[in-house]
Amino acid sequence: MITIAIGSDHAGYRLKQEVKDYFRDQGIRFNDFGVDTPESVDYPDIALVVAESVARGENKYGILICGTGIGMVMAANKVPGIRAALCHDIFTARAAREHNDANILAVGERVTGGGVACGIVETFLQTSFQGGRHERMFL
Ligand code: RB5
C-alpha cells in the first residue's frame, strides 16, 4: 500500500488537519512531517523534508500546504526528482498528473477551501500519468 507524505507551514496547518481527516476516512496511509501549531516557521524547511522523502521513494506522493502554496511549490522543485505542482481546482490537479507526472501537490489554505482541497487531493491521487508525448517534456 502506498503512503503519502504531508506537510505544512503555520499558514497551512489547519487545512492539513482537514486533509488528514480525509485520508483517515478513506483509509489512505500518510506520514505527517508537521507542523501542527500556528507558530511561525519557514516553509522551505517543511518542503525540503517532504520532497526528500518522496525523492527517496519513502512516500509515493507528497502534499504541501502553506498560505498560497507558492512558496512550497518553489522550494520543493529544487529537490532533484521532484515535480511539484500548485493546483487550484480539479482540472489543474488532473492535468498535473496526466501531463506533468507531478509527484508533489501544493495547495494554499488562504486560497482553497477544505472541500475543494480534498477534491483536488483525491483527483491527484487517483489520476495516472498519460506518458507518450508528455515524456519528452522532462529534462
Ligand atoms: C506565510 O505567511 C506565507 O508567506 C506562506 O505560508 C506561503 O504562502 C508562502 O508562499
Cβ–ligand 1 contact at 63 (below 6 Å): no
Q: Which residues contact 131 (CB under 8 A, 6 or more apart)?
A: none
137 pLDDT above the threshold of 90: no
Selected residue with higher pLDDT from 69 and 138:
69
**Percent of the chain's residues with pLDDT above 90:** 95
Cβ–ligand 1 contact at 67 (below 6 Å): yes
Instruction: Specify whether the CB–CB gap between 86 and 69 falls below 8 A.
Output: yes
Selected residue with higher pLDDT from 139 and 25:
25
Cβ–ligand 1 contact at 71 (below 6 Å): yes
Residue nearest to atom 10 of ligand 1 (CA): 71
* Per-residue pLDDT tens over the stretch 81-99: 999 999 999 999 999 999 9
Task: Give the residue carrying C-alpha cell 482540472.
Answer: 91
Measured in degrees and rounded to the nearest 5, phi and psi for residue 73 equal -70, -35
Domains and CATH numbers, the chain: 3-138 (3.40.1400.10)
Cα separation, 28 vs 15, in Å, equals 17
* The model's pTM: 0.97
Instruction: Specify whether the CB–CB gap between 48 and 75 falls below 8 A.
Output: yes
**Percent of the chain's residues with pLDDT above 70:** 99
* Pocket-testing residue among 8, 9, 13, 41, ligand 1, by greatest number of atoms within 8 A of Cβ: 9
Residue nearest to atom 7 of ligand 1 (CA): 67
Cα separation, 97 vs 30, in Å, equals 19
139 pLDDT above the threshold of 70: no
Q: How far is CA 29 from CA 8, 38, 59, 62, in A?
A: 17, 25, 10, 12
* Per-residue pLDDT tens over the stretch 25-36: 999 999 999 998
